[in-house]
Amino acid sequence: MSKLDILQDWFEKVWMQGDMDAVDGFFAPTVSAHGIIDGLEARPEDFKEFIPALRAHTRDVEFTVLRHIDAGEWLWVLVGIKARSAATLEPMEFSGQLAIRFEGDKFAEAYNHFDFVSFAEQIGAMPPDTVLLCMSGEQLSL
């Protein structure tokens, strides 16, 4: 199984089907994942809490690999995510990037960046055009 196949299996089983029992099987014992939440180094147990929290806001999640580079033990991927808002059933779209180092067929190190501002806008947690508003000097109320 290629690194890309393993990642797509991760998206399918864990993110799309919500199988949290499958999480541990994807990770090497000394895994470190960065970037999901600023300053947090995520472990498999963190994903078991984080993924259901995100899934609670969405329905019909689909991941599409838009670009990838397989280089030795590293895999770089640009993904498009489509879903429906759980609250409104309106379509949602956002993107993410991952750099994953593999040890054999397991994730050993990962750097993630997802457009969570767009995600938050589309679930109604932030106003539309949040980034533009902030760049123009507007401040969001806390």
Which range marks the domain in which residue 110 is found? 3-135
Number of domains in the chain: 1
Neighbouring CB atoms inside 10 A of 36's CB total: 20
pLDDT at 36 exceeding the cut of 80: no
Whole-model pTM: value is 0.89
Average pLDDT over residues 38-53: 85
Do the domain assignments include residue 140?
no
Give the model's pLDDT for residue 140. Answer: 83
- Residue 7 burial (10 A CB sphere; 0-12, 13-18, 19+): buried
Higher pLDDT, 36 or 11: 11
Round to whole Å and give the CA distance between 133 and 69: 35
41-42 vs 27-34, strand pairing mode: antiparallel
Per-residue model confidence (pLDDT) at position 32: 85
d(CA 111, CA 97): 8
Residue 110 lies inside a defined structural domain of this protein: yes
Would 117 be classed as within a structural domain? yes
Q: What is the CATH number of the domain that holds 119?
A: 3.10.450.50
Question: Above pLDDT 70, what percent of the chain?
Answer: 99
pLDDT at 142: 59
- Give the 3-state secondary structure of 72-131: CCEEEEEEEEEEEECCCCCEEEEEEEEEEEEECCEEEEEEEEECHHHHHHHCCCCCCCHH
Spatial separation of the C-alpha atoms in residues 43 and 75, rounded to whole Å: 19
Over the stretch 52-110, which tens digit does the pLDDT of each residue have?
A: 999 999 999 999 999 999 999 999 999 999 999 999 999 999 999 999 999 999 999 99
Residue 74 lies in a domain: yes
- Give the per-residue pLDDT at 94: 96
Q: Is residue 141 part of a domain?
A: no
